[in-house]
Amino acid sequence: MRQTKLTKAARGRDCQVRVPGVCNGNPDTTVLAHYRLGGTSGMGCKPNDIQAAWACSACHDYVDGRSHNRREDDRLTARHWHAEGVMRTQDILIREGMVA
């Protein structure tokens, strides 16, 4: 898989998803976690990299439903945390001049 500038920019960054009681706070595990939204992604198709958040491994697992810490009824809460992380990530990228 080809890594973009925005994918690479996630390395070593603080998690922006920040799920309480889940986030491991370890920037060494941070990756770009894509937000799935109808009309912008689908089966085998990731959304644009600007539609993603910097997430530590624990938060990424949580929002993607791979975590044992998340119950199925927490899906909307997970989407909320992920969406806020996307907005925080975009804010940082804009302030740093990586996106306009």
Annotated catalytic residue: which of 34, 68, 80, 82?
A: 34
Q: pLDDT tens digits, residue range 14-39?
A: 999 999 999 999 999 999 999 987 65
Q: Are 27 and 37 in contact (CB under 8 A)?
A: no
Cα–Cα separations (whole angstroms), residue 40 to 4, 36, 45, 77: 18, 7, 9, 20
3-state secondary structure of 94: helix
Q: Whole-model pTM?
A: 0.86
The torsion angles phi and psi of 68, rounded to 5 degrees, stand at -75, -10
Catalytic-residue membership of 82: no
Region 46-62: mean pLDDT is: 92
The residue assigned the tokens 């600007």 is 50
The domains located in the chain, with CATH, are: 5-95 (3.30.50.20)
- Tell me: pLDDT of 47 over 80: no
Q: What is the pLDDT of residue 61?
A: 93
